[in-house]
Structure formats: C-alpha cells, structure tokens
Amino acid sequence: MNRKYEEYRSLMQKISDVSYANALLSWDQEVSMPPKGAAARARQSATLSGITHDLFTGEKTGTLLEELSGDKTLSFSEARNVAETYKSYKKAKKYSTDFVITLSKTISESFEAWNRAKKENNFSIFAPLLEKIIKLKREEAGILGYTEHPYDALLDQFEPEAKTKDVERIFEDVKKELVPFVKEIATHPQPEQGIMFMHYPRQKQWDLGIELLKQMGYDFEAGRQDISTHPFTTNFGALDVRVTTRINEHDLGEMLWSCIHEGGHALYEQGLNNGDYGLPSSESISLGIHESQSRLWENNVGRSLPYWKANFPRLQQIFPENLGKASAEDFYKAMNTVKPSLIRTSADELTYHFHILIRFELEKALIEGSLEVKDLTSAWNKKYKEYLGVDVPSDSKGVLQDIHWSHGLIGYFPTYSLGSFYAAQFYSKASADIPGLEDQISKGQLKPLLGWLRENIHQHGKLYSSEEISKRITGEKLNFKYFLRYAKNKYAALYNLKAETEKTS
C-alpha cells in the first residue's frame, strides 16, 4: 500500500467532510430553515467555505500532490485521482481565501433575496445582489484565466474543457434544425392537453412521486425527498443523496417531471463508488454528463409511450375521476405537446432548448460586459419574444423563474442542452445493447437500463472525461444528430408528419 497515496486519500476525505457539512447547510436553507436564520446561515456557509479552501490549498496538499504526480507505481485509477485533484488544486490556488468567503456569503444572501423577489414578483429586490454576483463572477473569470472569452473560465467549472465557441456551434444546430421543425409542428393540430391540468390532490401526487422514484431504483435508505421552491438534487456521498420536488395541484406535469428528472440525477450519485469517498473517482464527471442522466430518465424514458403503458393503469387507480376514461396513448400525447411557453422547467423537450439558448446568450453578455443587470429584464423579455414568440407577463415568470444565478451558477445552463444531447446518444446505444429495452420499460422493468448506466457511466466517477466516456460508450464524441433523429422520429409520429419519419429513420 502506497503510504503517500493513503495520506492523500485521508486528507481528501477530511476536506470532503467539511465541504459536505456546508452542502448540508445549503440543503437545509432551501428546504426547512426558518427565514430569520438567513443572516447567520450566510456567515456559517462562508466560514466553512473558507476552511475548505484553506485545507485544499494548504502546503500539505500541494506537497502531497506534487510528490504523487510523479509516482509511476500508482494504478490507473490512483493516477487519475491524483491528476484530477492536482488540476483542481492549481485552480483553487488562484483564489484568495477572502474572495472565497466573500463569494460564499454573497451567494447565501443572494438566494434569500431571490426567494423573496420571486414571491413578491419584484426583480428590484434581487437585482442589487445579482449585480454583486456578476461582478464577482467577472473577477473570477480573470482569476482563473482564459484565452478566448471570459465565459470560458466559468463554463469550464461545469463542463471541463468545453469552450464558449463549442456551445455556440451546438446552438447553431439548434437554430438550424430544431427551429424549423418546431415551426412545422405548429402548423398541425395540437393534442388535447386538458387531462394534465385537472385537479390532482397534493398528497396523492406526493405518494405517486415516491412510487415512481422507487420504480426507477432510487434507494430511500440512502436518500429522501422533500419540497422546495426549485427542485434539486444534493448529495453528501453516495449513501446520502437527497432530492426535492414541487407540486402544483392543477398541473400534474410539475411533480412528474421534477421527480423523474431529479431521480435521474440521484441515481447517478447513488451509483458512484462510495469506497472512494472524497476522491474524484467518487464524483460525477461533469454537469453535462450529470444532466444526461436526468434528461435520459425524464425524456427518453419518462415521456415515452412504453413507460406510460406500464404506469398509466396505476394513475387511473389513483385519479379515477380525471383519468378513468382516458388511455395511455391520450396521456402520452397530452404530455408531449410542443408549444412555446414561459417556464423552462415546464417546457416540452424541443422548445426547452430555446430557453437554454436565451440564458446562455444573456449570461455570456453579462460576463463580457455587453449587458448590465439593470437592463436584464428587458433583454430577457425581448429574447422570449424573439425565440419563443411569447410575452412575459411578470418578473416571477420571467427573469426570476430560475434559482441558478442566485447560487452564482454562471456557466451552468448550457449543460442542460448538452445533457439532453448526450442522453439521446447514450439511450440509442443502450437500446442497441439491451435486447427488448422498450418492451422491458413497458412492463415497468427499469433495472436493466439502470444496470447499463451503472456499468457504463456511474461507476467510473471522474476517471474519464466527458468526451472519453462518450467515446468509450458510443464510439464518438457528442453528436447532435442522435438528439435530432430521436426528436424527429418521435414528434413526426405524434404530429403525423410521415415524410419526416421516413427521412430520419
């Protein structure tokens, strides 16, 4: 046993202990903290962030990593762990402890301001804190360094090695291929959506969500579900992975998609190697790959007809007055209506990417300085009219609808689209590898798919990059054609566009 490596492992676990304790405070802040605890929580989180930073960037860490980085006796996984940690260490060394504490405190205060602003439908409450966030993020981009665009430095934190120009190229495909396809769909009759918006009692929805999570394979002995304003997943190691959902008694989709989406995230975290707690091999690769797991379960599985052939009879038992006379096919068509809308999390899986495109363009402009926070609301509303053809009626349904900026997550949004495109590519390969996959899904048998994901993605942690894992699984890097083929085949059939089905089959 390599003594230095074990010393490194012990130190990384100690740092993770502090970091996860801080994450637990953040989870509590969003789920159950009383409002008057906000100021103290901001201080507590900032203190723990500072301690984590000092431990990670300390002389002991640097010495260990430098010695181990040249050690030829390390195994493949040990060497990759050290290399990933050393890369993170070099980045972290660029930050001062004061900057880390200031950013953490500002984020904590910003979340509370966003929450109040959203409830009161008043962007001006949040704007001053967002201005501080943007200023700090511009400073952070400078601290980290970049060669082409300051947004590169922030994007890299969520999707390592990705560049702004890469995201722009992908969104050019979205504009070129998806925009005209959505316009074509708009010329055809829309399915009846009414059954999605009847009265669905809160407790019955909650109980259904728990059932669906269990069916997916989510381990409630290693997790729990709660309610939050904005659904999210957080983890404190593979054996404590928590999800939240939200429930709207007049929109069944809000609970369904948040449960299945966050369940996908949670399955990834629960499938990581807990034996390597604290090391990169026990951590997710990137946010793009993370989102591929949530979007695969939400869209490729959860919005599919086979999934509802298995689950619709149970829905009819729970909600007989609403769904007793409907069929699984009716429900499938209602949930897959393609129609421009205001809210990202409620968007269909095609126009969803227009929502992401808008946020990407706004973030990029904010970071490069071509847009200021004071002009953000009007810029947001203008883009919603341009890309989606909808008028934004209020701040809460517009610029305040997402929590991400209050958490300082600038550079995060593009990973939602990257994740959807990875998901289609991975699901295509899973379908080829697992005989009769859709037949299994139609019988409620989801374990084969989860097993495939565990074997090909989850267990590897950060031992491979996003591009490497994609090539290992599918033989090529991210390719938008898989999503386009999936989308055109599915929606051409739903909207009776026979020529498109033939063209892309």
pLDDT at res. 229:
82
pTM of the model: 0.91
pLDDT at res. 419:
97
Query: H or E stretch including 446?
Result: none
pLDDT at res. 504:
38
pLDDT of 63 over the 80 cut: yes
Q: How confident is the model at residue 498 (pLDDT cuts 50, 70, 90)?
A: low
> Nearest to residue 401, comparing CAs of 197, 228, 227, 230?
230
* Nearest-5° Cα angle at 255, 363 to 225: 90
* Domain 164-504, CATH class in plain words: mainly alpha
For 370-403, the three-class secondary structure string (H helix, E strand, C coil) is: CCCHHHHHHHHHHHHHHHHCCCCCCCCCCCCCCC
Q: What is the mean pLDDT of residues 315-344?
A: 96
Q: How confident is the model at residue 503 (pLDDT cuts 50, 70, 90)?
A: very low
Helix axes 38-56, 3-31, angle to 10 degrees: 170
- What is the share, in percent, of the chain residues with pLDDT greater than 90? 94
d(CA 140, CA 137): 5
pLDDT of 496 over the 60 cut: yes
pLDDT of 502 over the 60 cut: no
pLDDT of 52 over the 80 cut: yes
pLDDT of 370 over the 60 cut: yes
Q: How confident is the model at residue 345 (pLDDT cuts 50, 70, 90)?
A: confident
pLDDT at res. 108:
87
Show me where the domains of the chain are located.
3-145, 164-504
Residue 233 sits at φ, ψ, to 5 deg, of -120, 135
Q: What is the mean pLDDT of residues 382-396?
A: 96
Residue at 312: amino acid letter? F
Pull the structure tokens for residue 95.
């930050």
> Nearest to residue 230, comparing CAs of 25, 26, 19?
26
Q: How confident is the model at residue 1 (pLDDT cuts 50, 70, 90)?
A: low
pLDDT of 505 over the 80 cut: no
List, for residues 207-247, the tens digit of each pLDDT value. 999 999 999 999 999 999 999 988 999 999 999 999 999 99
Residue at 473: amino acid letter? I
Q: What is the set of active-site residues? A: 262
List, for residues 405-451, the tens digit of each pLDDT value. 999 999 999 999 999 999 999 999 999 999 999 999 999 999 999 99
d(CA 471, CA 29): 39
List, for residues 150-205, the tens digit of each pLDDT value. 999 999 999 999 999 999 999 999 999 998 999 999 999 999 999 999 999 999 99
Residue 140 sits at φ, ψ, to 5 deg, of -65, -40
